[in-house]
Structures are given as structure tokens and as C-alpha cells.
Amino acid sequence: MSRTDATASVLIVDDNVEFQASVAELAALAHCSVTRASTLGEARRAARDGPFDLLVLDLDLPDGSGLDLLDEVDLATIGEIAIVTGHPSVDSAIRAVRLPIVDYLVKPLAPDALGKLFERARLHARSQQPGGVEYSGMIGTGTRMAEIFDRIERVARHEMTVFIHGESGTGKELVARAVHERSGREGPFIAVNCGAIATELLSSQLFGHERGAFTGASQSHAGFFERARGGTLLLDEITEMPASLQVYLLRVLESRTLTRVGGTREVPVDVRVIAATNRDPAAAVASGDLRGDLYYRLADFPIALPPLRDRPEDVAPLAQRFLDRLNERYGTRRFLTTEATRQLAARRWPGNVRELRHVVQRAYVLASDDAIQIQAEPAGQRAETDAAGTMTFRVGMTFDEIEREVLLKTLAHHGNNKRQAARTLGVTAKTVYNRLLRYRSLGLVGDEQVGSEEDDED
């Protein structure tokens, strides 16, 4: 049986014909293909025709113990093993739990227990489908991400700057790390959020300073450019860098040297620079937030990341990956139900992959059993994602409703970045955050939109 089959493949090994038939019927209803075996010999032959996403194995067979089968097959070809027996014993239980990926179940089996097994089998089958690609921690199953991976491979070993553009939460730092990993550069990868460092400190942090350069500079300090020597420096939120520093950055890129704050000595720069922003670069240049000459120098090789809503085929694989990590970390075996997967696919994900990760994490924590449920998307968030750039007003709206419409649409336009939305609206980020807290208390927005006061990193 090939892994390219659309449905999960289940091998049922049991000499009880009625039990075998009932399990096979439930498996078929769960959209699983079934292979049956009544003896150890039949099971051996069937296992050779695998792989299987689930093996349901009886212990007491006419020609031996079901556990003997596990000593003879390649366990890597089986997604999950469920031992079933009507005569449990301490010895068999101990032997079973020493094997990987094994459930030990006692007959009669409850239908919901079998349902969970089949659900996990389908998820395992889906994870084995061809076309799913993991690349430096990123997952892409369609042409959009395949093109991104190809661009990373092409540019990685060329000594040119890369400019990454994408909405908040699309994985810009992951792309930058992938470029560094494949560049062959032996120095470190250092990421700097230009919008998270106070303006008066950014110059010192980037380019370093000499002792006595300013009050409190009791000793010389190497900046990020020097600390990233031989490696890669990611300048995230490049549009948040003050214009005066943009001029100096351009000179550093052109001359490959820098002068520390308060210093006179030129220091050679051996750094691969990658810049990133969640804003439209052309709009940032037009508004004066990004110097045109610096942009064209940084954008030797641009990479535009698609939002998650434009790659819906990746929602389920990404969600499963986040859940796999949680299961591995906490020693659990929780799974996403079919309805949960449907709920995830129906969302628009204004917060992109970061929002998806937070939703899966929250659902994991709130789960009362192994079956992960996903709550419906908050109504306020659904409204915010429809025609994000268009304001919808009607006669009779209150000022509060108009304010909420403007704020949520502005946030959507800026990828839920509160600092940038505040700048556009002419208010403080604190004001935006307080409004979101109030909207959440009214049930109008979800936790993903509220985030925290500092949750503006890309």
C-alpha cells in the first residue's frame, strides 16, 4: 500500500471475526482503508505490503502472540500501534509499553476510543502525503512557499543584501535565518529589532561607542555590526530606524567600514546584512519613513512573503507541527479533530503564522482530553478581516462604533502592529492597546488582536 493513498491505512489483526468486522466498519466510516488478518502468518504477509498508519493488534492469535509480529516488522512503517486484548496481563502490558508508539487497550473497546485512533491515523496519513516540505523550520506545501525556498537557495551564497517584506507573523526572521544557514558564513546570526530600541540608544547599539562618548559610557562597547563579524545581521523593522541613522547605515554598507560613536578609527565590517519590514516598502519610501537610496541599496535581492490567508493549504500542516511540538514537550498525544481542522481552515489569520501558533497553544491548554477543539473565530475579528482596507459606515452608527471600525481596519492594514496603527491614527500605542482591551471585554475581538503592549515584533 502506498503512502500516496488519500485515506489512512489500517491493519486489523484479530481472530475474532465479529470484533474484526465491527472495527473495520468503524474504520470505514472514519474514511480509513482497512486490511484484515486473522492469524500471525496473515499479519506478517499483510505487514510486508505496508506501510500502515494504524495497526490494531490482538495479543492472542491462533499461531502465536501478536507481540511477536512487532519483533519482525519495521516499526518505522507503522504510524501508531494499538494492542487490544480481552485477557490483559502484567507481562504483556510491560512488554507493550516498552515499544514505541503503542496504546494498550482492553476489550470491549468504546467507540470513542477507536474514533480517536482513526482520527490520529488520518492525521498521520496526511503528514506523510507528498508535497509537504519543511525548510529551515518553515512549512510549505504549495507553489508560493516553494518559490520562497528556491529564492533563498539562489541568494544564500551570494554576498548581497536581502530585503524581506511581509505582514507581521509571516516568518521574516525564519527566512533570514535560512539565508544565513545556507550562506556558508561562519559568524553568528544576530537579529535586531530597530523599533524596539530607544532612538537615542540605537546608534550605539548598532555601531558601538568609545569610552566617554556620552554620559554613562564608562567603557568601549562593540555594536551589533562588530559582534556579527563573519556572520549575518538582520535589521528588522528597518522603517523604524531614524532618518539620520539611515544615512549612516547607507555609508556603512557602501564603505564596508564604520566608526563607533565618539570614535575616530574606522573599523572594517564583514557582515551580511538582511533587512525586513512589515510595511509596503514603496509606501514607506513615499512617506519618508525609509530613504529611497537606502532601500535600493538594501533591496539587492527582495523576498516578499505571502500572508497565511494566501496559502490556506499550509494551515493544517502548520497547526499539526505546532501541536507535535507541544506533545513532544509535555509527553502527550493530543490531536486535532476534523472539526478543529475545518475551523482553522475557515479563518482569515490577520496575525498569520504567529496567530495560528497562539491559537493552537491556547486550544492545547484548554483541552479536557486528547481531542483538541478550536473555538469559532470571534465575530469582531471576522468583521475586521473582511475588506481590511475599506471602511464601512452606515447612518445611525454611534461615534464608538465608528471609532472601532477605523481602529480595527487600521490595525488590519498594518498587520495588527499597534505602534504603526497608532502613528497612522495620530494617537499613542497605549491608547490603541487600551481600546483593544475594552473591545475584548465586550467580546468584540479575540486575544490574538489584543496581544500585549510590547507585542509589535515581526
Pairing of strands 257-259, 266-268: antiparallel
Q: Which residue type sits at 253?
A: L
- Number of residues in the chain: 458
Grid coordinates of 360: 493552537
- In this prediction the pTM is 0.62
Residue from 27, 189, 19 nearest 119 by CA: 27
> What 3-state DSSP class applies to 321?
helix
> What 3-state DSSP class applies to 121?
helix
Grid coordinates of 294: 537606502
Grid coordinates of 320: 499539526
Q: What is the pLDDT of residue 387?
A: 40
Between CA 188 and CA 230 the distance in angstroms is 7
Q: What is the pLDDT of residue 212?
A: 67
Place of cell 537557495: 153
Q: Digits of tens for pLDDT over the chain (458 positions)?
A: 444 444 789 999 999 898 899 999 988 888 888 999 999 999 988 888 878 889 998 888 898 888 888 777 777 778 888 888 776 665 656 555 555 556 777 787 777 888 888 888 887 776 665 545 678 889 887 778 888 998 999 999 998 999 999 998 999 999 999 999 999 999 999 999 998 888 778 888 898 878 766 666 667 788 899 999 999 999 999 999 999 899 999 999 999 999 888 777 888 999 999 999 998 888 889 989 999 999 999 999 999 999 999 888 899 889 988 998 999 899 898 998 888 888 898 888 988 999 999 999 999 999 988 889 887 665 545 444 444 445 555 555 566 667 777 888 888 878 788 888 888 887 888 888 888 887 776 666 666 677 766 555 44
Q: Which residue type sits at 362?
A: R
Residue 20 in contact with residue 49, Cβ under 8 Å? Answer: no
Paired residues of 163 in beta bridges: 275, 302
What burial class does residue 418 get, using C-beta atoms within 10 Å of its C-beta: 0-12 exposed, 13-18 middle, 19+ buried?
buried
Residue from 220, 207, 211, 385 nearest 308 by CA: 385
Residue 364 in contact with residue 334, Cβ under 8 Å? Answer: yes
Instruction: Provide the CA 1 distance to its chain's centre, in angstroms.
Output: 31
Residue from 225, 209, 222, 234 nearest 271 by CA: 225
Q: What is the pLDDT of residue 131?
A: 45
Q: What is the pLDDT of residue 246?
A: 94
CA distances from 60 to 18, 27, 95, 266 (A): 15, 22, 14, 79
Preceding peptide of 130 cis, ω within 30°: no
Between CA 430 and CA 450 the distance in angstroms is 12
Residue from 18, 30, 19 nearest 10 by CA: 30
Grid coordinates of 203: 546608534
Pairing of strands 60-61, 64-65: antiparallel
Q: What is the DSSP string of 212-234?
A: TSSTT--S-B--HHHHTTTSEEE
Paired residues of 144 in beta bridges: none
CA distances from 69 to 12, 74, 180, 210, 316 (A): 13, 10, 46, 71, 33
Q: What is the pLDDT of residue 102?
A: 66
Dihedral (Cα; 387, 391, 396, 399), 10-degree rounding: 120
CA distances from 39 to 20, 48, 86, 106 (A): 12, 15, 16, 19
